[in-house]
Amino acid sequence: MADPKTRFLGGARILPQRVRGEMTAAQLVDGVFTAYNAARLREAARLLATKMLAPDTTVAASLTGALTPGGYGISCLIPLVEAGFVDWIVSTGANLYHDLHFGLGMRLHHGSPFVSDVELRKAGVIRIYDVFFDYKVLLDTDAFVREVIQAPEFQRPMSSAEFHNVLGRYVTEREKVLKIEGSSLLAACHRAAVPVYTSSPGDSSIGMNVAALALTGSRLTIDPNLDVNETAALVYDAKRSGGKSAVLILGGGSPKNFLLQTEPQIQEVLGLEERGHDYFLQVTDARPDTGGLSGATPAEAVSWGKIDPDQLPDAVVVYTDTTIALPLLTAYALANREPRPLKRLYDRREQMLGRLREDYLAARGSKGND
């Protein structure tokens, strides 16, 4: 009879490498991250590099928290997009707005959270924790957004992906003039045809400027119906084409749900057969027991149909700050995976939406619905 201990003691022995000054980030993760949330980060890095970045897997990323003002758009997100490691995005509007500062050549500075905000207000300085910038940065970015979205091509309803793609084209041109190509995530996504959605279009300074121009007759509106159906179509097409769907969730909040609700939209609402996303990787500091979506586990998501129950072993949650985990995950992926051909999903939106529409109408017809 086998010793019952072997069931529990079959894992690799904990005997880490000594940390050396010349170690790469990937070597540090593989050789030193042995336990606790460091081990979860190692598991996440390996899941990302070995499975999520397979050629047939479509990777969606959700972005919350002040990532772009801290420079994580330039340092991590743009390299992931350009390497073909992120195929579509759901972001807070704030991350996309603050990304514009970099594409317009504006300056953000290291600061301190331990200062008087009353004094900062008097000095005309904006603070995002320990990131400082001149109040004029907001005013000049607002002016750029308002000028651009008054163009005739914006005078109609559109999905947030189309809105951000066209806006990204203008930012790309500004980067060229300023000779700062590679500074803006929106510009990078425009070039790579990576669709960028926001789950709450009015909840940011970009949305505020869109609303302001509506007071003067602008016909631009962001259509949430298009966003819901387009994002579902991206996932549906990935799965029906014989591939897999992976989610990389940075933080939580509304973008997390908007990304994950694609599967309930396909299954519950449209009545099309599906089993959920195949791979789940989340970085969060939120607890599950408070009932908030940011802390909801992949196991809980199974009950909603968001995650394929057979794929739970390929679901990892890392409880740490995204600003710590994201650079390590990015470095690990770039060190262990060759760049993938760009899927250029933005260019195929109408085709994928058409496929979803046809199958939905066929399913309704077969059930006798009118």
Q: Which residues are catalytically annotated?
A: 306
Tell me how far apart the alpha carbons of residues 80 and 78 are, in angstroms, rounded to a whole number: 5
Q: Which of 106, 127, 100 is nearest to 116 (CA)?
A: 127
Q: Mapping DSSP to helix (H, G, I), strand (E, B) and coil, where does residue 16 land?
A: coil
Residues 86-101: b if buried by 16+ CB within 10 A, e if exposed: bbbbbbbbbbbbbbbb
Are the CB atoms for 140 and 106 separated by under 8 Å? yes
Tell me how far apart the alpha carbons of residues 54 and 279 are, in angstroms, rounded to a whole number: 11
Residues 299-332: b if buried by 16+ CB within 10 A, e if exposed: eebbebbbbbeebeebbbbbbbebbebbebbbbb
CA 366 vs CA 23, 83, 353, 356: distances in Å: 60, 42, 20, 15
Are the CB atoms for 322 and 251 separated by under 8 Å? yes
Tell me how far apart the alpha carbons of residues 23 and 31 are, in angstroms, rounded to a whole number: 10
Give Cβ neighbours of residue 275 (< 8 Å, ≥ 6 apart): 305, 308, 309, 310
Angle (nearest 5°) at CA 281 between 280 and 282: 120
